[in-house]
Amino acid sequence: MARNVSTQRKIVVTVVAWTIGILIFFPILWTFLTSFKTEAEAIASPPSLFFFDWTTENYHEVQSRSNYFLHFMNSVVISFGSTLIGLIIAIPSAWAMAFSPTKRTKDVLMWMLSTKMMPSVGVLVPMYLMFRNTGLLDTRTGLVIVLTLINLPIIIWMLYTYFKEIPGEILEAARMDGASLSKEIIYVLTPMAIPGIASTLLLNIILAWNEAFWTLNLSAAKAAPLTTFIASYSSPEGLFYAKLSAASTMAIAPILILGWFSQKQLVRGLTFGAVK
């Protein structure tokens, strides 16, 4: 009897949760579906959910009209570039702070985090002028520099919390067993550090890919990543729902998939380790 009640309850919970989940996800599903419709079907009334003539025409159109691939590659270069450079700078720092902390380490960490609290708009004017005067405006290099700087504190923090979990005793044990320094690094430290580095990489690529303040303000055409490119659909072109949907689907799909694989890291990274 008790078992029966709990199964019933489970079914009710399942139905409610799935309904809410689908409702929350619906705008994305709708965009995905619309991207395969013709423009006429996209605004048809009543709208059709699945039963329409599926076409991939919009995807060709988006590419041929506006060189979508260029903007996609800009996004790739900017997000991966800023993440990799950030990691190269951050790994030694986080490593040193995790394994040979001083009494000021905590203050340094807190201070680094505080730079993240500065609202971007507070430095918009000088950044814009500096970029204009140095020719960095609308270049991939410029955007990589800015995104590296704004995400560096998060990278250091995430790495720090991961490195902190590597037990120092293991190193001592390895040394007792006669491991040389290079062996120690290759066989003991690296394997333990890699999962943390990978999660940090993943989260930061997501953040950089979706960053939409500096990319919108500092890029226009040739270096525009997808955030800026999609923003150009805000007026009249946005009325072409099917093309907007196709462009959007391609822009969000890679990150959606990456994000689903890194749910746990998302929580940890975005709360600076405060919630695990």
- Vertex 171 angle, CA 88 and 198, to 5°: 35
Q: Which is nearer to another protein, 140 or 152 (CB)?
A: 152
| Distance in angstroms (rounded) separating the CA atoms of residues 66 and 48 | 28
Q: Which stretch binds another protein (CB under 8 A): 25-33, 52-60, 61-69, 134-142?
A: 25-33
Sequence length of the chain is: 276
AA letter at 208: A
- Binders of another protein in range 156-175 (CB under 8 A): 156, 168, 171-172
| Distance in angstroms (rounded) separating the CA atoms of residues 24 and 140 | 34
Does 213 contact another protein by CB under 8 A? yes
The site that binds another protein (CB under 8 A) totals a number of residues, namely: 103
- Residue 273 phi, psi (nearest 5): 80, 0
Shortest distance, position 33 Cβ to another protein, whole Å: 10
For another protein, which residue of 153, 163, 196, 246 counts as binding (CB under 8 A)? 153
Does 70 contact another protein by CB under 8 A? no
For another protein, which residue of 151, 163, 209, 246 counts as binding (CB under 8 A)? 209
For another protein, which residue of 81, 142, 259, 269 counts as binding (CB under 8 A)? 259
For another protein, which residue of 21, 135, 167, 195 counts as binding (CB under 8 A)? 21
AA letter at 1: M
User: Buried (b) or exposed (e) across 195-221, using 16+ Cβ within 10 A?
Assistant: ebbebbbbbbbbbbbbbeebbebbbee
Binding mask 74-113 for another protein (x = CB under 8 A): ---------------xx-xx-xxx-xx-x---x-xxxxxx
Residue entry with tokens 């989940």: 21
- Binders of another protein in range 112-151 (CB under 8 A): 112-130, 149
